[in-house]
Amino acid sequence: MSLLVVDRLTKSYREGKTAVNGLSFHLNKGECLGLVGESGCGKSTLARCLLRIETIDSGTIALNGQPIEHLNERKLRPYRKQMQIVFQNPSAALNPKLRIKDSLIDPYEQFNHQLRLKHFTFTSKAAYIKQLLEAVELPASLADRYPHELSGGQRQRATIARAISIEPEMIVLDEPTASLDVISQGAVLNLLTSLRTHLNLSYLFISHDLAAVHQMSQCILVMKEGKLVDQFNRDHIFKEDRHPYTKELISIF
Ligand SMILES: Nc1ncnc2c1ncn2[C@@H]1O[C@H](COP(=O)(O)OP(=O)(O)OP(=O)(O)O)[C@@H](O)[C@H]1O
């Protein structure tokens, strides 16, 4: 069943550049949909449109069958809870002035009244923080530290803990490992896959790295200059009828 259905989504910037040009795709519940394309092809713009951080020019975005592209902020609130994002740069996502435990509790406090948690339980702030840190394989002792006292990999795990804390249905992962070294990248990708299974999450996984997208995703979208040029099941990546641009990306795999 589709969780997210995007139909002919278009977004231009004022300078006349069409960053996202008529994109249509769907994301099934519990799956990871990979989106690959080179720098500047419009991946982050798409992510921001889906999260309603950016307004769109035309097209529709439906979450669980409900069009959300024109909802005002009040009506959008329940959907904001369902969709979280993890950005490339974990330092920007965590408030440098807050201890990790305070950053982790923040989404819970914002959505307190709308939450019916299934996997985590809130008996006390400390117990909840401990469960979140455990879920992303971080020691409980990090709760009292500030972001600058963590490594890059630990910071990204903390932002993932924050994203899963309110048990969204879907997370947009926008180049989540781009700022990490190769070993941390692999570990974070493995963690994300295991969280998807355990928490029944759906991901839109955005990356310029086709190998990472192939490792993570059941279906793959290929974007070039604002348009989708190819979409296929992960098992069909080496098929002859792949788009020439996909073949180019495979050759540097
Ligand atoms: N706020 C903005 N105002 C004007 N143009 C923008 C803005 N944001 C992005 N663009 C332009 O839209 C196009 C798509 O950019 P976008 O950041 O979505 O690409 P991307 O695929 O995510 O790139 P990267 O992988 O480098 O982050 C680019 O040409 C970019 O210059």
**240 alpha carbon to ligand 1 midpoint, in Å?**
31
Average pLDDT over residues 111-134: 91
pLDDT at 71 exceeding the cut of 90: yes
Residue closest via CA to ligand 1's atom 2 equals 13
Given the CA of residue 37, which atom of ligand 1 is nearest to it? 21
Residue closest to 207 by CA, chosen among 195, 3, 167, 192: 192
Round the average pLDDT of the chain to a whole number and report it: 94
Instruction: Name the token pair of 148.
Output: 């600058």
Q: Which atom of ligand 1 is nearest to the CA of 48?
A: 18
How far CA 96 is from CA of 86, 167, 214, 221, in Å, comes to: 17, 24, 34, 35
Q: Which atom of ligand 1 is nearest to the CA of 45?
A: 18
If phi over 0 gives left and psi between -120 and 50 gives alpha, with beta otherwise, what is residue 69? alpha
Atom of ligand 1 nearest to the CA of 14: 4
What is residue 113's DSSP assignment?
G
Strand order in the sheet with 18-28: 18-28, 2-12, 58-63, 66-67
252 CA to middle of ligand 1, Å?
Answer: 23
Site residues for ligand 1, CB cut-off 6 Å = 13, 15, 17, 19, 37, 39-45, 208
Contact between 114 and 78 under an 8 Å Cβ cutoff? The reply is yes
Q: How far is the CA of 44 from the centre of ligand 1 (A)?
A: 7
pTM: 0.94
45-49, 77-81, 138-142, 213-217: segment of lowest average pLDDT: 77-81
Indicate which CATH number applies to the domain containing 39.
3.40.50.300
- The pLDDT tens digits for 164-196 are 999 999 999 999 999 888 889 999 999 999 999
| Residue 228 clears pLDDT 80, i.e. is over it | yes
Output the CA 189–ligand 1 centroid distance in Å.
Answer: 24
Domain tally, the chain: 1
Tokens 């009040």 correspond to what residue?
74
For residue 193, the model assigns a pLDDT of 97
With a CB cutoff of 8 Å and minimum separation 6, the contacts of 164 are: 84, 132, 135, 136, 171, 195, 199, 201
CA 30 to centroid of ligand 1, rounded, Å: 28
Which pLDDT band holds residue 1 (cuts at 50, 70, 90)? Answer: confident
Q: Residue with the nearest Cα to atom 24 of ligand 1? A: 39
What is the pLDDT, as a whole number, of residue 17? Answer: 82
Q: What is the mean pLDDT of residues 104-132?
A: 91
Domain encompassing residue 109: 2-251
